[in-house]
Chains A and B, each alone.
Chain A
Amino acid sequence: MAIHNRPLCLLALLLLVGALALPFLSHAPNRLISGQPVPLWTLGSGAWLVLLPGLALLAGPFLPQRRRTVGLLALAALLLLVGLVHAAALGAELLAQDAGRAARTSFGAGFWVMALAAVLALADLVARAGPGPVLRLVIGLAAALPILAMVLSGHLDQLSILKEYANRADQFQAALLRHAVIVLAALLPTLAFGVPLGVLAHRRRRLGASILSGLNLVQTVPSIAIFGLLIAPLSALATLVPAARALGISGIGLAPAVIALTLYSLLPIVRNTAAGLAQVPASAIDAARGMGMTRRQVFWKVEAPLALPVFLSGLRITVVQAIGLAAVAALIGAGGLGAIMFQGLFSNALDLILLGALPIIAFAALADALFKAAVDLSKRGSA
C-alpha cells in the first residue's frame, strides 16, 4: 500500500491515538475537584456516529491525491471537526443527567488531539487543493459557523467552558469589546505614523535603514518589559500635566497598552510599506514619468496599487500580532479577553483560561483569513 500523503498519514495516527488512548472528556462533581477521565467509547453510539468522517481521513493517505479526492477528504476533516464539538456536547449532556448542577464536564486530551489533527488535516488538504481566495473564506466559514451556531443555540451549555461563560456573561462581553477597542485604538496611530514612515523609508534609503533598525530593536524587547517601562513616564506625565490625566492617561490601563501595541505594530507596517514600494518595477515608474504623470499621479496610480498586496500582508501580520499582544496588556490593567485568561491562570481554572484564550485565537484566525483573502484579491492582474 503506497502512502500518497505523508502529513495526513501522521495526522491519521494522531486521530487513532486521540480516539482510543486518550480521554475524550473530563468530568468532575464540581469545579474545585480535578476531573475523572471519560473515554470516547463510554459515550454511546450518538457520539460515535458523528466521528465517522474520521474513518475517511484514516483511509486518506493511501488514496491517490487527485483534486476531487483531496476536496472530499477536506470535507471529511471539516465534518470531523464540527462532529467532535457535537460529540463533546452530547457527552456532556449524557454526563449531566446523573450529576448535580455544580458538575463540570471539560474537553479531555483526546478531544484536543483529535481537534488539532482535524484542523491540521483541513489546512493541509485545502493547501493541496489550492482554492481561490473567496472559496477559502467559504471553507473557513463552513467550519466556524456550525460551531458558532452550537454555541449560540445552547447545545454546548453543559460543557464547563460555557458554564464559566454563563457565570460571567457581562464580564465576557465587556472584555470582548475592550479587546477590540485596544486593537483598533492601536491600529489607528500605527497606520497614521507607519504608512508615512514606510514611504519615507523607501524614498530615503539610509534614513529608512535606521528607522527599521530602531523598530527592530523595539520588537526584541519582551512585551511585559515594554508595559513595565511605560508605567513610570506615563504616571509622571499624568501627575505633571492635568490635561493628560483628563484624557485618561495614566501609568496603567488603556494608554500604555495602546502605546506599547503601536510600537510593536509599527515594524511590520513600516517594513512592508517600504518593501511594497521597493518591488514596484522601476521600468513602470520610468514609463509613468516619461508619459507625463505628475509625482502624485505616479504614486497613486502606479506605486500605491502595486505596493498594496505587500502592504496588506504587513497589515495582516500587524492585526494578528496586536490581537495576541492585547491579551498581555491585561497585566497592566488594560482589560480585554486577557483579563479573563489571567483570572483563570491565577485561580487554576482551566476552563476560564480557555474562555479567554479561545476567542482570541478565533479572532486572530478570522483576521488572518480575511486579510489573506484581501491580499489575494489585491493581486489580481499582476500575478
Chain B
Amino acid sequence: MIEFRNITKTFNAVTVIEGLNLIVERGEFCVLIGPSGSGKSTILRMINRLIEHSAGEIRFAGEPIRSFAPEVLRRRIGYAIQSVGLFPHWTVEANIATVPRLLGWDAARIEARIAELMALLGLDAARFRTAYPHQLSGGQQQRVGVARALAADPDVLLMDEPFGALDPITRDSLQAEMRRIHAETGKTIVFVTHDMDEALRLASRVVILDKGRIVQSATPRELLHAPANDFVREFLGKDDYGLKLLSVETAGAHMRREDSGAVAEAVREQDSLRLALSHMVALKTDRLGVEDSTGRRVGLLLLADIVT
C-alpha cells in the first residue's frame, strides 16, 4: 500500500532520515515508535506530502506520490493528529464532512456518512451533531477527529500521536475503539507514538526508529521475544518487561479446554494474560474461567499456565 524506497530527508543540510526502506502492506496496523527526534513524525508526514522527501521514492497504491497533486493525494489519506485540529467555527457534523465536501459528495450521501461515523466512534448524534468543538471534552474531540479522518473512506489512515494528550482512561477506551475499527474496516493504518504499551496493544507491526533509521521492524510478539539489540531492550523497559510479554498473549491461547463451572470469575478469550493476571492478584485466586464473546464458558486459565 505504501512503499518507501531508499528515502532520505534533509532539513537545512541536516539529514534526519537516511536510506529508509519500508513497505506497509494493505490492512496492516503499522506503529512507528522511537524517542523524540527519531524521525517518526517526519516519516508519517512525508506520506501525504506535508513534508517533501529529499531523495528516493515513496509509492502509494503502486504509484509514486509525486504523480498525484498533493490535495488529491491527501483527500485519499485520512489524517488525525495529537492536537486534533478541529475547526472551532464549524459544528461537529461540518467538521466530519470536511473531506466529503471537498470531494463534492451529494448532501444525502454526506448525511448518511456522518450518521454512520458518529455511531462507529460512539458519539451520540442527537447530542453532538450540531455542537461546536469547544463544547466537547478532549476525548470526544479526538473521536470527532478520528471520524473526520475516516470520513471519505480513505485507503490509508495516518495518525500522529492521536491519543498522546488524553488522560489514561480516555486513551484506553480510544485505543480499544481503534482496534475494533481496524478489525471492522480493515484499513491500512500508520500510527506514530512514543508509548511502547500503546504500540504493543495496537500494532500488527511495530517499527522502532532511532536517529532516522529503522532499528527493528517486527510483530509485537517477535519484538518482545527477540529484541534486535540493547536499544530495543532499553526501549521495551526492564521493570515491566514481563508484563509486556503478557500483554501480547491472549487468554484463549493459554487456557485449558476444561470445564470451569466451579470458578465464579472469568475473563474473555481475547483478553490479554496481563489483564488475567491482574484479575487473579486482585481476586486472590490462581484460576479464572474463560468465556467467548457471547459469554459462553470455553475453558479454564491457571496461574501456572500464565507463568510458563
Contact = CB atoms under 8 A, between A and B. Distances in A.
Given A291-B98, A292-B72, A294-B71, A286 B86 contact: no
10 contacts: A282-B83, A283-B85, A287-B84, A287-B148, A288-B85, A291-B99, A291-B102, A293-B102, A306-B89, A381-B90
A35 B46 CA distance: 82
Interface of B: 48, 50, 70-75, 79, 81, 83-91, 98-99, 102, 132, 134, 145, 148-149, 158
A382 B132 contact: yes
Given A286-B50, A383-B134, A292 B74 contact: yes
B81 A291 contact: no
Contacts of B145: 287
Contacts of B89: 305-306, 381-382
Contacts of B79: 287, 290-291
A36 B91 CA distance: 65
Interface string A339-366: 0000000000000000000000000000
A284 interface: yes
The 6 A-B pairs of least Cβ separation, nearest first, read A287-B85, A292-B74, A283-B83, A283-B85, A292-B75, A290-B79
A67 interface: no
Contacts of A284: 85-88
Nearest to A301: B87
B134 to A, nearest CB: 6
Interface residues of A, number: 22
Q: Most chain-A CB neighbours within 10 Å: which of B74, B75, B134?
A: B74
A297 interface: yes
Given A306-B88, A381-B88, A291 B74 contact: yes
A305 B94 CA distance: 14
Q: Most chain-B CB neighbours within 10 Å: which of A281, A284, A306?
A: A284
B72 A286 contact: no
Q: Most chain-B CB neighbours within 10 Å: which of A292, A293, A297, A383?
A: A292
Contacts of A281: 83, 85, 88
Nearest to A378: B89
A205 interface: no
A332 interface: no
Nearest to A285: B85
Contact of B132 (A289, A305, A381): A381
Contacts of B84: 283, 287
B88 A290 contact: no
Nearest to B95: A287
A302 interface: yes
Given A290-B48, A290-B79, 10 more contacts: A283-B83, A284-B85, A286-B85, A290-B50, A291-B99, A291-B149, A292-B71, A292-B74, A381-B132, A383-B132
A212 B86 CA distance: 31
Contacts of A381: 88-91, 132
Contacts of A285: 85
Contacts of A289: 50, 74
A381 B158 CA distance: 28
A188 to B, nearest CB: 28
A291 B90 contact: no
Q: Most chain-A CB neighbours within 10 Å: which of B74, B85, B158?
A: B85
B96 to A, nearest CB: 11
